[in-house]
Amino acid sequence: MSDVIRFFGGQHIYGVGGDFAANLIAALGVNEHGEGIQINPSSNEMHAGFSACAQAEVDGMGFCLTTYMVGSLPCTSAAALAVTEGLPVVFISGAPAESEVNQVAIHHTIHPNASWKAEYDNALEAFSALGMRVERLQGQRVEGHPNIAGQRFYQIVSEAYKNKQPVFIEVPRDQVFAKTQPIKLPSTLDNICCGSNILAGTELIVDNILEKLAQAKAPMLYLGDRLKHNEKLKSLIISFADKFNIPYATTWFAKGLFDEYAPLCLGAYNGIFTQTTGREYIEQQVDYVIDIATSIFPQDSNIAFGTGTHKIERFDNKTLLKGGSLLEKDLIAIFERLLEQDIIPFDFTAPSQRALTTLAPQIESHELAKGDDDIDFNNLAQTLNDLQAQDASTYVYLPEVGNSYFASYSLKVRQSILGRSWLTNPWYGAMGTALPYARVVAQRIKSQQIAERAVVIIGDGGFHFQLNELIHFLKDKSDVTIVYMRNNVFHLGKSGDGAIYHCNDSEFDVHSLVKAYQGDSKTCTSVREFKTYFKACSQQAGISLIEVPAKPIEARQSNELKLLNLYIKSQNGHAEAVKAWRALTQ
């Protein structure tokens, strides 16, 4: 198991201990000789799963270890996230010894006292219900017969890698140290698949693209989130764009995969919700789109929330390259062939910064991010963009789902050495991931000694939901800047004034909390204060937190959220909202 985990790039496992996992911890963890895999403790099993998801995002594979049932079942939320986001995470759980499985209910099993039989497969069934591959490894059945548990472990983990989906594996504790038939691992990861691309038609696809490019004056590449685990394909696409001077934009879900400061990058596009200068070029000049590795089945928030304003979704002159083979080898073959072609570079000039305001009248002026203006969601992104533009070090943003998530789409992100400069779970497969994700990012920044900074953007609900993860920044001696947008309520989705929406108390002293974790913090109310302290945070070790008193009023919301709320009101028949929405979209 240890060899297989290392073969797939696993240098860390995130988990929580327990009696059924004790043998696994002893077998896989670092021993007295310094050999083994680093097992990082988490504050709870769900956060261990979330950190493993972040590990898959950054490292290409994630590994989570828990005990039987009571430990593995809390990971189902993280597993749902991994399924939704397409993350190859291996959830490993200890399990009762094969000799223990009988008609006596074992602790940790889900067993009502009125049941007539013991159930041992509840966790397997729960993960299977999410659409995951699940298996409990089995030992030798007859003396002299082979034990193929090692081979099965490799085969299941390789499935996760090839299909970019999570798997769940239970390991009986009596099998951990049992002899198993040895396996010979492939020489490289490239050799785990059945040869090269087996899909035919590459020449026909390339010829079709060349024909359309020959007729186009303003082509564009539209890049999806299925590229995130394929560095080779990403590199080929950027080489193609650079060689022939073709601009590119990403979906909202693929934000952070590419350098938005690059001259050819038009930012993340999502119809009327687009806050980047590339929107005017996309909607008014582009005459041919090559759609690459976007989702097979569209998700509403990635196509302008179904408002009908997503021009690329409805664009006629478009070539779809979804990627149908393992590890996108069909797309790799297409772009390798395209790079060999004799194509005249296109005449493209990046749109000016002022172009956006003529297209979207509701976009706020950059003057909001000046001097003594109050800092809030409506100007947070512009303030951070000003800071990033002046700082050569990359900020790796980790927004929590909610108002922070929507505001983060106006951020202009640099390329990160980690491969992701904006990292969250945009499919909403789970919530409460920002700090477990930031932990992994901060660990990698520290271990690789790179000049980057993990920046969490989070509100009250998300912060209280996961603040127990702060202990690991202290233990890891890693650095993070937390922008805490405090308004004392669950604001996104709030539809009343009931107590359920009040997730904080005015007496809560966040500074005392941060101090307990040996961190530093300050309340900032103006843009000037925020910028000054943010710069100081970038030079500080450990936890740095900026408390921003946010006002839960429409004028202080991000533009993305203002537009979404306006659309929802117009759909509900609100007369003024209907009029305003029509003015923006017609």
Residue type present at position 371: G
* pLDDT of 353 above 60: no
What pLDDT does 68 receive? Answer: 94
- The CATH superfamily assigned to 363-562 is Thiamin diphosphate (ThDP)-binding fold, Pyr/PP domains (3.40.50.970)
152/139 Cα distance (integer angstroms) = 11
pLDDT in tens, 394-411: 999 999 988 899 999 999
211/208 Cα distance (integer angstroms) = 5
456: which strand partners? Answer: 398, 482
Domains 2-192 and 363-562 share a fold: yes
Strand order of the β-sheet with 543-549 is: 394-399, 452-459, 480-486, 543-549, 520-523
- 45-59 vs 434-448: helix crossing angle, rounded to 10: 50
455/383 Cα distance (integer angstroms) = 14
Structure tokens at 459: 């509100």
pLDDT tier at 112, thresholds 50, 70, 90:
confident
Structure tokens at 70: 């009571």
Q: What secondary structure letter does DSSP report for 403?
A: H
Residue type present at position 62: G
pLDDT tier at 503, thresholds 50, 70, 90:
confident
For the chain, give every domain's residue range.
2-192, 202-355, 363-562
Structure tokens at 396: 């790796």
344/366 Cα distance (integer angstroms) = 38
- 231-244 vs 329-338: helix crossing angle, rounded to 10: 20
Identify the residue with better confidence: 67 or 506: 67
Q: What is the phi/psi pair of residue 547, to 5°? A: -90, 125
375: which strand partners? Answer: none
What pLDDT does 140 receive? Answer: 76
80/129 Cα distance (integer angstroms) = 10
The long-range contacts involving 496-501, CB below 8 angstroms and separated by at least 24 positions, are none
Q: Could you tell me which residues come within 8 angstroms of residue 87 by beta carbon, excluding any fewer than 6 positions away? A: 53, 56, 57, 62, 81, 164, 165, 166
Mean pLDDT across the stretch 115-139?
90
Mean pLDDT across the stretch 191-211?
79
Mapped onto helix, strand or coil, the DSSP state of residue 543 is: strand
Strand 248-250 and strand 265-268: the pairing is parallel
Structure tokens at 398: 């980790």
432/124 Cα distance (integer angstroms) = 24
21/28 Cα distance (integer angstroms) = 11
Mean pLDDT across the stretch 469-490?
93
Identify the residue with better confidence: 507 or 362: 507
62/13 Cα distance (integer angstroms) = 8
pLDDT tier at 295, thresholds 50, 70, 90:
confident
Mean pLDDT across the stretch 293-311?
86
> Is 404 in contact with 21 (CB distance < 8 Å)?
no
407/381 Cα distance (integer angstroms) = 6
289/212 Cα distance (integer angstroms) = 9
* pLDDT of 426 above 50: yes
Query: Which helix or strand (DSSP H or E) is residue 546 part of?
Result: strand 543-549
> Is 221 in contact with 237 (CB distance < 8 Å)?
yes
Mapped onto helix, strand or coil, the DSSP state of residue 278 is: helix
> Is 100 in contact with 106 (CB distance < 8 Å)?
yes
- The number of CA neighbours under 13 Å toward the Cβ of 211 is 9
Q: Of the given ranges (41-45, 118-122, 271-275, 350-354), which has the lowest mean pLDDT?
A: 350-354
* pLDDT of 345 above 90: yes
Longest dimension (CA), the chain: 79
pLDDT tier at 491, thresholds 50, 70, 90:
low
What pLDDT does 358 receive? Answer: 42
Mean pLDDT across the stretch 495-510?
81
425: which strand partners? Answer: none
pLDDT tier at 354, thresholds 50, 70, 90:
very low
pLDDT tier at 197, thresholds 50, 70, 90:
low
Across the chain, what does the average pLDDT equal? 90
What pLDDT does 357 receive? Answer: 44
What pLDDT does 273 receive? Answer: 92
pLDDT tier at 466, thresholds 50, 70, 90:
very high
Mean pLDDT across the stretch 429-454?
94
444/12 Cα distance (integer angstroms) = 11
Q: What secondary structure letter does DSSP report for 254?
A: G
Neighbours of 344 (CB within 10 A): 9
Structure tokens at 399: 């927004």
pLDDT in tens, 154-191: 999 999 999 999 999 999 999 999 888 888 898 888 77
467/435 Cα distance (integer angstroms) = 7
Architecture in CATH of 2-192: 3-Layer(aba) Sandwich (3.40)
pLDDT tier at 104, thresholds 50, 70, 90:
confident
Percentage of the residues of the chain whose pLDDT score is greater than 70: 94
193/159 Cα distance (integer angstroms) = 10
Residue from 405, 398, 403 nearest 443 by CA = 398
Q: Of the given ranges (5-19, 241-255, 569-583), which has the lowest mean pLDDT?
A: 569-583
264/70 Cα distance (integer angstroms) = 50
Q: Measured between alpha carbons, how far is residue 284 from residues 209, 232, 350, 351 in Å?
A: 21, 32, 14, 12
Mean pLDDT across the stretch 52-69?
96
pLDDT tier at 100, thresholds 50, 70, 90:
confident
223/226 Cα distance (integer angstroms) = 9
15/67 Cα distance (integer angstroms) = 9
pLDDT in tens, 374-398: 999 999 999 999 999 999 999 999 9
Q: What is the phi/psi pair of residue 43, to 5°? A: -75, -25
Q: What is the phi/psi pair of residue 370, to 5°? A: -120, 145
* pLDDT of 362 above 80: no
Architecture in CATH of 202-355: 3-Layer(aba) Sandwich (3.40)
pLDDT tier at 577, thresholds 50, 70, 90:
confident
Structure tokens at 50: 């979330």
What pLDDT does 196 receive? Answer: 55
pLDDT tier at 504, thresholds 50, 70, 90:
confident
